[in-house]
A and B are shown apart, each in its own frame.
Chain A
Amino acid sequence: MKSINAYGLSFVFVLMGIVFLSFYGLLYGDIDTDFQDLYLALAEYSDQDVNQVIIREIRLPRILMAIISGAALSIAGMLMQTLFQNPLAGPYVLGINSGSSLMVALGLLSGIGIFNSELGLIGSALVGAFIFGLFILFTASFLRNQIGLLLFGVMLGSFVSSIITILEVGSHAESLKAFSLWSMGSLNGVSIQQLPIICIVFVFTCFLTIFIVKPLNILVLGEEEVRLMGYDVKKLRILVVFVTAVFTGLITAFCGPIAFVGLAVPNLTRMLFKTQNHMLLLVANLLFGAFFLLGCDVVTILFSDTLIIPINALTSLIGAPFVIYILISKLR
């Protein structure tokens, strides 16, 4: 067993990276600010100062959302990969996001007021993600081929996006606008008032994950071993899908679809740390996921003078070649 210190050291480095990127993201952008503005914005906020408003109302929510989204999607990806014993699994490629998108589209485009509220949005995204998660779980019980399952998820995504297109055509201008804005996917859409609820759900779900770490470690050896060690496999699978759905649904509700983070980061951490200890993997995915998406966000800031890159496009740009790399190295 590798000493914990070796892991600890790399965790500290990534943590430092996260802190550095966070400060960068808070201080720089279209308008550059300094540490004094930052201090004032956090400690003695006045909405008369433009710099403070930018930091507190725009940058702080975005940076925190980058950290939370990266961490949540990466942990969700780790859970899916262990559940399906498939390195190609992830919340985006298996279509869990699509479930959220479909439910949010049905809600928003129906024009019924309650679905346009915050809770309505989260609720429909979570329910959609959970239903699609169970659907994938059911499909995986007879579709044993790893690449087959991936294809199934991608097809599910295409199917849902065509339904959404049809819904869009037939809907009112106002609800269409609300949905289009959401579906573009961005870390900018969250206001500071929404942050507490997001943080609470995120932290709660992380704690829930800690309690399934032990059976997940055994699940790596197959479901028979889990049963032999006295766990209820069915309950475990549904719990894993539930946790994944909460992570994915939460992020999809507020940021729209963000692709490939949940596939690339868990693979990266397994390769880097060479372990199947899910407690370590949980921490690693939390930190590396946050670092990865925060890094992507900073890249979009750097280019913001000349080009506004949607975050979803950037993660796909990095994530898709990574999937191809795994495919090729597995098929060989």
Chain B
Amino acid sequence: MINLKDIIIGFDKKLFSIDGISFEKGQVNVLTGKNGIGKSAFLLTLAGLNSTVKGMISLNEKALTSYSSKQLSSHIAYVNSSPKGVPFLSVDSYLFLGRSNYTNMFGKASETDLLEVEKAKTLFGIHHLSAKYTNELSSGELQLCAIAKAYVQQTDYILLDEPTSHLDYANKRKVYELLGKMANEHNKGIIISTHDLDLAFKFDFKFYLIQSKSLLLKQVKSFKDVEIEFDHQAK
């Protein structure tokens, strides 16, 4: 469980604060709020790449900061908003890099590593891309591969920064379905930020809004609550 109590998020300066919230395994948590309010900063903080302005985040009842970055990478995986394709890096090799925690110091693949990569390709339906180079993929395909790479890392939690921003409608739906599947069938705790709310609300996810007036992260129950916020912004 990731526990957040009396925390201020930001890059050195405050962006918003959290009174008390916790993220559990087996659940997709959706984070929303207007541009620049601090969604990415929040995810980076959870990934251990940024520190809180105030307060202590705890992961499994231990301070997040007490984990070394190596230890943290076996608990939490992070996918940034625009994964990058690299020439001559095949999808297989790309997915395999997600196994870096498990390979020996020279990065040699074991049977288990190869098996996990195969499993991920089946789950995400990307077998046909195996031999393709990552710079030749469409943004939808690349996004799926990036999530698959986070999956093979075998962490309890996966953080995704706007995983659907570059995708068409069909791919957006596919990503949400997969996220739901990972939470329900593989007991992962998933935390994403997104602006694709009308689609997201069709799924059984938990929703959180960073209110622009109070600068507070709050859970919201329905799409209506979110609309109130954006009506307020429009004025």
A residues lining the B interface (CB < 8 Å):
1, 210-211, 213-214, 217-218, 220-222, 224-225, 227-231, 270, 274-277, 279
Contact = CB atoms under 8 A, between A and B. Distances in A.
A214 B106 contact: yes
Contacts of A274: 88, 133
Interface of B: 47, 49, 68-73, 77-78, 80, 84, 86-90, 92-94, 97, 100-101, 103, 105-107, 133
Nearest to B97: A218
Contact of A224 (B80, B97, B103): B80
Contacts of A210: 106
Contacts of A275: 88, 90, 93
B88 to A, nearest CB: 5
A224 B82 CA distance: 12
A276 B89 contact: yes
Nearest to B94: A221
A221 B135 CA distance: 11
A84 B84 CA distance: 15
Contacts of B89: 220-221, 276
Contacts of A224: 49, 80
Contacts of B87: 270
Contacts of A1: 90, 92-93
Contacts of B70: 229-230
B152 to A, nearest CB: 13
A276 B73 contact: no
Nearest to B68: A230
Given A227-B49, A228-B69, A270-B88, 17 more contacts: A213-B107, A214-B103, A217-B100, A220-B89, A221-B84, A222-B84, A224-B49, A225-B97, A228-B49, A228-B78, A230-B73, A275-B88, A275-B93, A276-B86, A276-B89, A276-B93, A279-B107
A233 to B, nearest CB: 10
Contacts of B106: 210-211, 213-214, 279
B137 to A, nearest CB: 14
A214 to B, nearest CB: 4
A276 B93 CA distance: 8
B73 A229 contact: yes
Given A1-B90, A220-B89, A229 B101 contact: yes
B72 A230 contact: yes
A211 B92 CA distance: 23
A211 B106 CA distance: 7
18 contacts: A1-B90, A1-B92, A211-B106, A214-B100, A218-B97, A218-B100, A220-B86, A220-B89, A225-B97, A227-B69, A228-B47, A229-B69, A229-B100, A230-B71, A270-B87, A274-B88, A275-B93, A276-B88
Contacts of A230: 68-73, 101
Contact of B105 (A211, A222, A227, A277): A211
A181 to B, nearest CB: 42
A279 B89 CA distance: 14
A217 B72 contact: no
Contacts of B78: 228
A213 B104 CA distance: 11
Contacts of B49: 224, 227-228
Which of B93, B101, B103, B105 has the most chain A CB atoms closer than 10 A to its own CB?
Answer: B93
Contacts of A211: 105-106
A222 B73 CA distance: 16
Contacts of A213: 106-107
A218 B73 CA distance: 14
B208 to A, nearest CB: 23
A222 B92 CA distance: 18
A188 to B, nearest CB: 37
Nearest to B88: A274
Nearest to A274: B88
B124 to A, nearest CB: 18
A230 to B, nearest CB: 3
B115 to A, nearest CB: 14
A88 to B, nearest CB: 14
Contacts of B69: 227-231
Contacts of B105: 211, 214
A222 B78 CA distance: 14
A222 B86 CA distance: 10
Contacts of B77: 228
B103 to A, nearest CB: 7
B47 A221 contact: no
Contact of A221 (B88, B92, B97, B107): B97
Question: What are the 5 A-B residue pairs with the smallest beta carbon separation, nearest first?
Answer: A230-B70, A214-B107, A230-B69, A276-B89, A274-B88
Nearest to A229: B100
B171 to A, nearest CB: 22
Contacts of A279: 106-107
A274 B90 CA distance: 9
Nearest to A275: B88
Interface centre among A218, A230, A277 (most CB of B within 10 A): A230
Contacts of B47: 228
A188 B69 CA distance: 49
Contacts of B71: 230
